[in-house]
Structure 1
Amino acid sequence: MAGETTVLAGAIVLGVLYWAGWCWREGGGLPGLLVKTGSTALLAVFAYLAGGPWLLVAGLALSSAGDAFLAVDKPGEDKWLKPGMAAFFLAHVAYVALFWGLPQADRSLLNFAAQLALVLSGVVFVRWLAPRLGAMRYPVFAYTAIILVMGAAALRLQPQYVLVTLGAVMFVASDMILSLQLFARPEGAPKRMLPSLSVWGLYFFGQALIAWGAAYPFAGVE
């Protein structure tokens, strides 16, 4: 276990470095790209070394590819936005398949209410955002659909996978804030520090919780 723990520690160090030094800036150059993609790539390596499900490894690896695409764009450009969204879309497909294959909790009114609240809030949010999307309208609709399915699937997991559920909800929250940064920010306005810190913090540590929680579910929790 020492090897995968070391890799996870390296991922967290890189994730914190990117959070503190790059995520709130415009651009970041090659150092920022390497730190950003390296953090999530190491999460994929950790999941592999820990013997996690292959769908977990695939989801993390595809997320790292998405990070790379988004990091390549220069300030004011979005030519790599669609490839980045496609990589994350496939990552969510892997997560949906993973979560559906994990033990599911018994259906309850509270569980159903949480799923309904997540989906309805996502639909209302993207409907409000729609007039600002332009040519990205349908890609964003498709991406929103898959991430809401991913979040709803995570809410059905048994309690031993609570870290996975928490991480998935953090991922959804991160993407909602990011969509405001991408599509609702006035043209030419600089990135704001607090939302940028929130996006990366929720995203990276959400991914770390998914990786750890799926690889090492709590034992004896029902």
Structure 2
Amino acid sequence: MAGETAALAGAIVLGVLYWVGWCWREDGGLPGLIVKTGSTALLALFAYLVGGPWLLVTGLALSSAGDAFLAMDKPGEDKWLKPGMAAFFLAHVAYVALFWALPQAERNLLNLTAQIGLVLGGVVFVRWLAPSLGPMRIPVFAYTAIILVMGAAALRLQPPFLLVTLGAVMFVASDMILSLQLFTRPPGAAKRMAPSLAVWGLYFFGQALIAWGGVYPFLADAN
């Protein structure tokens, strides 16, 4: 288990390092790109080394690719935004397939209400955001649709996968804040520290919960 432990510990160290040292900067440069991408790449490596579901490994690896694309944009540029969104879109497709394959809880009023609330809230939010999207409207609508499906699927998981559910909801919250940063910030305005810290904190630790929560119940059963 030494390799798995090292991968998880390395991911957390890099994730925290990026959180405190780079996520709020306009341009993290090559060091920021390496630290950011490495944190989620190590989560994918951890899931692979412990024998996690291949869809989990795929989702984490695609997320790492998305991180790399977004980190390559310089201030005022967005030429890597669409490739980054595409990578994350495919990551969510993998997560949706994974969550549907995991044990589902019985349909009840609580999880149904949570799913409806998440989807309706997301639709209202993106409808409010639409006038600010410009040519990105269609890509953002498509991305919003898949991440809401991902979140709704996570809300139906059985209690042993509660960490996965929590991580998925954190991922959705992170993307909502990020969309405000990307599409409602006045041109030329500097990144604000508090939203930037919230975006990365929710995103990275949400991914860590998905990675750990996606493999821990199987490891517990094996022991």
Aligned equivalents of 1:217 and 1:186: distance in 2? 45
Equivalent positions of 1:135-174 (< 5 A) are 135-174=135-174
Q: Which residue of 2 aligns with 1:197?
A: 197
Q: Report deviation, 1:2.
A: 2.5
Separation (CA, whole Å) in 2 of partners of 1:42 and 1:200: 16
Using the TM superposition, give the Cα deviation of residue 5 of structure 1 relative to its aligned residue in structure 2, in angstroms: 1.2
Aligned residue for 1:26, secondary structure, equals: coil
Partner of residue 7, structure 1:
7
- Displacement after TM superposition at 1:108 (Å): 0.3
Distance in 2 separating the partners of 1:96 and 1:133: 26
Corresponding residue of 2:112: 112
How many angstroms does 1:139 deviate by? 0.1
Q: Secondary structure at the match of 2:130?
A: helix
Structure 1 segments unaligned to the other structure (5+ residues): none
- 1:186 shift after superposition: 0.9
Q: Is 1:56 the equivalent of 2:68?
A: no
The within-5 A match list for 1:87-102 is 87-102=87-102
Deviation of the 1:179 alpha carbon: 0.1
Q: How far does residue 6 in structure 1 lie from its aligned partner after superposition? A: 1.3
Q: Which residue of 2 aligns with 1:212?
A: 212
Q: Secondary structure at the match of 1:157?
A: coil
Give the stretch that moved more between structures: 209-218 or 115-124: 209-218
CA–CA separation in structure 1 for the residues paired with 2:33 and 2:110 = 41
Aligned to 2:42: 42
What's the Cα RMSD here? 0.9
Partner Cα separation in structure 2 for residue 111 and residue 31 of structure 1: 42
Give the letter aligned to residue 198 of structure 1.
A
TM-score after normalising by structure 2: 0.97
Aligned length: 220
Give the percent of matched residue pairs that are identical in Structure 1 and Structure 2.
86
**Structure 2 alignment gaps of length 5 or more:** none
Match of 1:74 in 2: 74
**Alpha-carbon shift at residue 217 of structure 1 (Å):** 2.0
Q: Structure 1: how far apart are the matches of 2:144 and 2:122?
A: 7
1:176-198 deviations in whole A, cap 9, x for unaligned? 00000000111111000000000
What pairs up with 1:17-36 in 2 under 5 angstroms?
17-36=17-36
| TM-aligned CA deviation for residue 90 of structure 1 | 0.1
Equivalent position of 1:184 in the other structure: 184
SS in 2 for 1:190: coil
Q: Aligned with 2:26: secondary structure?
A: coil
The 1-side partners of 2:85 and 2:163 are apart by 25
Structure 1 residue 3, shift from structure 2 partner: 1.7
Distance 2:110 2:99 in 1: 19
Match of 1:129 in 2: 129
TM-score (norm 1): 0.98
- Residues of 2 paired with 1:173 and 1:50: CA distance? 28
Q: Give 1:109 deviation, angstroms.
A: 0.4
Secondary structure of residue in 2 paired with 1:216: helix
Distance 2:3 2:134 in 1: 47
